[in-house]
Amino acid sequence: MYFFLGLLLGGFGGFLFYRLSARKQREKLEEDIQMLQQEKQIVVEFMHNLVEAIGDGVNRDELFQRIVHAAILSTGALSACVFERKDNKLHGVAVEGLFPPQRPLPESSREKLSTRAKFIEGILRSEVFDIGEGVIGSVAKSGKAILIEDATSDPRVVQHGDASLQVRSLVVAPIPFRTEVLGVLAVANPADGLAFNETDFSLIESLAEQAGLAIHNSDLMQVQMEKQKLDFDISMASSIQGMILPSVYPQLEGLDIDAFYRPAQKIGGDLYDVFSVGEKRVAFAIADVSGKGVPASLLMAICQTNLRHFAKRYDSPAEILRQMNREMTPEMRQDMFITLIFAVIDMEKDTLTMARAGHELLLLVHGESGNGTAKAEMVGSEGMAIGMVPSEIFDMIIEDRTVPFEKGDSAVFYTDGVTEASNRDGAEFSGNRLEEVALSLRDRSASGLNEGIVSTVERFTGGSMFMDDLTLIAVKHT
């Protein structure tokens, strides 16, 4: 009987133990669920703060500072620091609190506590670690976070004689985006004086992952903003360029004028201009500004303004270019220059007077002479590009050249986008081919001449993309 009673009591006790154990497991599970919910809420708030920062358009440095601030608020740590990966080095870029430097401090650094925080911040912001160096570098190299619960006895942690800089507990986590480590987030010393635990470790890992996503999104948004600004600038520059290139030419009896312009990009670096400089005189200019994009477009507009200004004051094309070089060279970047031909056709004298500032040669096609033959020739004159040499040298070299321009003659001004257009074998169109084409099309109108040259260049290149602007001015003495 006692035996059965014992069995009964033992079974009842086991049942009670099972019930108590199950209750503890349930309580532990509920506690874990609650901790996970808290961690999720913290991560959501952390990400929300960073999204707001990105929406406010903060710069990269301020975003890093918000990351360390949010990390401290989220974890209850006394200090935190972010190291950014740049040029395969780790640079301290943001710190909050008295975060202990990760290298021993020099003896000369024993300053008053009132200035210690700023001093330590300066030390951290100047620290640069190699990948793999110290705790910070090893986390960046491995891409795995580490938890050091008791940092006072861990030889990997640098300790300082100042008690305020003692590292009691430390979590260091990589800031990842996909397979890349963008930086490292480190938090030190919980405010409650206890050690970081696995829950803290998991939370800081999650915060670092969200920080990586925020940094990537911030960079992406910055690129988009810069692209939008660049697109706006390009659109404006393209509009300005379209306004300054003439589409209507002086109407002078005996002259047939046409221009063709096709930029390689949205904004080109070529310039052409045609305008009257007297009752029977018309000026022609064609230029190639080094470079592309907005800077070349702006320089082109300045060039045209100066050209028209000095053309009102001087008759000599060479003197006009001298004045332009003297005016523009001091304001031009050292890596920029302008090649240019400026010519004036005088219909009373049947002459063409030109000056060439390092530009492509002028092509003249002479109509049939007394022997019934026509010919094409390249006409040049001495000169160097505007902005390339000081005025003393430029003025000595530049010169006027006057040639006959009679009935039946044609003149073709062009940029190197015509002669240097390449086919798939790498061969250039060349000046010789241009001469042959212009000579064969000499009976066409000015617009027909340009159309023929362009179509021939296109056939030669076989539809290859044009790497340079293509500009032509055709003038016929009818």
Q: Which amino acid is at 122?
A: G
Q: List the domain boundaries for the chain.
A: 24-222, 245-477
DSSP state of 456: H
Cα separation of 158 and 170, whole Å? Answer: 11
Across the range 347-368, mean pLDDT stands at 92
- CB of 338 closer than 8 Å to CB of 303: yes
pLDDT tens-place string over residues 227-237: 777 777 667 66
pLDDT of amino acid 112: 47
Query: Is residue 163's pLDDT more than 90?
Result: no
For the whole prediction, is pTM greater than 0.85?
no
* H helix intervals, 76-197: 113-126, 134-142
The yes/no answer on whether domain 24-222 falls in CATH 3.30.450.40 is yes
pLDDT tens-place string over residues 293-307: 677 777 888 888 999
pLDDT of amino acid 456: 93
Cα separation of 417 and 466, whole Å? Answer: 8
Report the candidate in 80, 27, 51, 28 with the shortest Cα–Cα distance to residue 203: 80
Cα separation of 155 and 305, whole Å? Answer: 71
* CATH number given to 245-477: 3.60.40.10
Report the candidate in 466, 469, 463, 474 with the shortest Cα–Cα distance to residue 438: 474
CB-based contacts of 61: which residues, under 8 Å, 6+ apart? 93, 94
% pLDDT > 70, the chain: 80
pLDDT of amino acid 42: 54
In order of 38, 256, 449, 452, the CA distances from 445 in angstroms are 82, 7, 6, 10
Between residues 266 and 301, which one has the greater pLDDT?
301
Q: Does residue 453 sit in helix, strand or coil? A: helix
**Helix, strand, coil in percent for the chain, rounding step 5:** 45, 25, 30
Other Cβ atoms within 10 Å of 209 Cβ, number: 19
- Positive or negative: CA dihedral 367, 370, 371, 372: positive
Across the range 223-244, mean pLDDT stands at 72
DSSP state of 312: T
pLDDT tens-place string over residues 26-57: 655 555 555 555 555 555 566 556 555 555 56
- Both structure tokens of 201: 């470790």
pLDDT tens-place string over residues 78-134: 999 999 999 899 999 998 888 888 878 766 555 544 466 677 777 777 788 999 999
pLDDT tens-place string over residues 307-347: 999 999 999 999 999 999 999 988 788 888 999 999 999 99
pLDDT of amino acid 397: 94
pLDDT of amino acid 316: 95
Cα separation of 422 and 458, whole Å? Answer: 10
Query: Is residue 367's pLDDT more than 60?
Result: yes
pLDDT of amino acid 358: 92
The helix (run of H) or strand (run of E) holding residue 75 is: helix 60-75
Average predicted confidence (pLDDT) for the chain = 83
Residue with tokens 């020099």: 106
